Amino acid sequence: MATSVLLLDALGAALGIAVATYLYRRLPFMATLYAFQRTLSHALRVVVSRRISDHWKEIVLPRYSLNILIGSLRFTFFLMLILGGFALTFSLAGLPFGVSFEAMSERLLEWQPNLFALAFGIVLMVVLPRLRGNRKPAQSEYGPLDRLLHHMLLGSRAMRQIAFDVGQAIAPGKPDEPAQQQPVYVAGLARAGTTIVLEALYSSGVFTSLTYRDMPLVMAPRLWAKLTAGQHKNAELRERAHHDRLKVGFDSPEAFEEVFWLTMTEADYIGDDGLTPRRIDAEVIADYRRYVASVRAASGRRYLAKNNNNLLRLDAIRAAFPEGVILVPFRDPLDHAHSLLRQHRQFIDLHAGDAFALKYMNWLGHHEFGAGFKPILFDPASRPVDAGEALTLAYWLRYWTHVHRHLLDHHLDQIVLFDYDSFCAQPEDSLRRLAGAVHIDPAPLLPFAARVHAPARHDRKATPLPPEALAVHAELRAHALQRTH
């Protein structure tokens, strides 16, 4: 084939993809897709629900059918506009070179122009964003196929919602009465010891939790388990990205349930400058109980979750599971602030070199530090004045104080405070008390004491603590599970 024809194919494909990308961004294509998905999701829930009478289904399903039809027509219309923009631009690209519109249109039936279009599409959608800002090469451990799967199943709210609905329709769990479950939640500021408390409880064998093996279909864990049965990967434990000596593997529990809240609340609590508590309606709470049931279905064990963002929704968790236990670890404010600052700087560097790592954290609702940092806004003063202030120890001390002051003033009756420093100093005693708080036999928990190490301590003379931070810390210790008075 003549080189000039291939060059013209490449030129037409490049111009066509540019126009198609412009239309994709300017038209309400994704908004239409999300609206269509929501309607389809609601209709599916009505169909499979046993709580809705057949009479009511006969009334509402025709309305859903009409909305689905309208939504599909809108989606098809916008899709045709985008594809038509590509085809029209490609066909016109040959005119300046004496090639007719009809001849170029016929070239669209050949594989070469479409291969060029695919290549240019990948450049526009994947390569260019990574090169923008002279970013370093990606450092993520995820390969191209893993990234693609995560993009598909985590990067789209529509896909997450569909996964939940399909999972509940095909492999639903059966929610117990709230009093029968007694789930345990570990929630607190990052770097407070939440992960090691989670691992201690999980080591007892009493609990089940979401693990790395459930990724990326965390919205349908039971369905994912069925799909991947017999294909489990085994890998040695590796130190996690925090570089904090904690090692994880495929069966390690982790904070993945935030994906549920991101999906069902449409992330309405995530603002440009922080995370703000929002009221959660009864329908979402009911869906959450169904979700927990699907996690528990395989083992029947009690549910265990670590999720720092659950500080935003303590009332909703209590409404879902009144008999649940919410553990809130805390630690010395100076040591904690130093740890948060160190992680913030470390993840800023990581995100600068790996765009996927930032997307991954955003998909999971992890905004604790790094380029995607968003503070919990119990108090407006928790906002950093600018990005530079978040690189100072003073800011993290103020943030620590505001969050824990709010918990003491508004949620003390809903939570069990757990002193991380006392845990490290006297692990066996703390584990016995912890076992009593979550209503389990301490025997399987005590061996974990050998894995507890003293945290890094910082010079109090070099950095005197503000009086308010000292007062809040003293009050936390007075109400802690391991209190000494």
Tens digit of each residue's pLDDT (9 = 90 or more) over 357-372 = 888 898 889 999 999 9
Q: Which helix (H) or strand (E) holds 303?
A: strand 302-306
The CA-CA-CA angle for residues 423, 428, 431, to 5°, reads 65
Q: What is the DSSP letter of 362?
A: H
Whole-number pLDDT of residue 260? 95
The 10s digit of each residue's pLDDT in 141-178 is 555 556 666 676 787 788 888 888 888 887 777 766 55
Lowest average pLDDT, out of 87-91, 123-127, 161-165, 181-185, goes to 123-127
Whole-number pLDDT of residue 134? 42
What mean pLDDT is reported for the chain?
A: 84
Long-range contacts (CB closer than 8 Å, 24 or more residues apart) made by 469-473: 469/333, 469/334, 469/397, 469/400, 469/401, 470/333, 472/333, 472/401, 472/404, 472/405, 472/408, 473/330, 473/332, 473/333, 473/404
Measure the CA–CA gap between 325 and 336, rounded to whole angstroms.
24
The 10s digit of each residue's pLDDT in 287-308 is 999 999 999 987 889 999 999 9
**Is residue 248 over pLDDT 70?**
no
Whole-number pLDDT of residue 313? 97
| Whether the predicted model's global pTM rises above the 0.75 cut | no
Long-range contacts (CB closer than 8 Å, 24 or more residues apart) made by 72-76: 72/36, 74/32, 74/36, 75/29, 75/32, 75/33, 75/36
**Is residue 386 over pLDDT 60?**
yes
Whole-number pLDDT of residue 50? 67
Q: Which helix (H) or strand (E) holds 329?
A: strand 325-330
**Is residue 179 over pLDDT 60?**
no
Tokens standing for residue 123:
């450049």
Q: Which helix (H) or strand (E) holds 71?
A: helix 54-92
**Is residue 315 over pLDDT 90?**
yes
**Is residue 449 over pLDDT 80?**
yes
Whole-number pLDDT of residue 66? 84
Highest mean predicted confidence (pLDDT) among 7-11, 220-224, 262-266, 426-430: 426-430
Whole-number pLDDT of residue 320? 94
Q: How many residues does the chain have?
A: 485
The 10s digit of each residue's pLDDT in 9-43 is 888 888 888 888 878 877 888 778 777 777 877 77
Whole-number pLDDT of residue 157? 83
Whole-number pLDDT of residue 69? 86
Measure the CA–CA gap between 249 and 229, rounded to whole angstroms.
18
**What pairing do the DSSP bridges indicate for beta strands 247-248 and 238-239?**
antiparallel
The 10s digit of each residue's pLDDT in 108-131 is 888 888 888 888 877 666 555 544
Domain map (residue ranges) of the chain: 3-131, 145-478
Q: Which CATH class is domain 145-478?
A: alpha beta
Whole-number pLDDT of residue 46? 75
**Is residue 137 over pLDDT 50?**
no
Measure the CA–CA gap between 333 and 345, rounded to whole angstroms.
18
Cis previous bond, 183, omega within 30: no
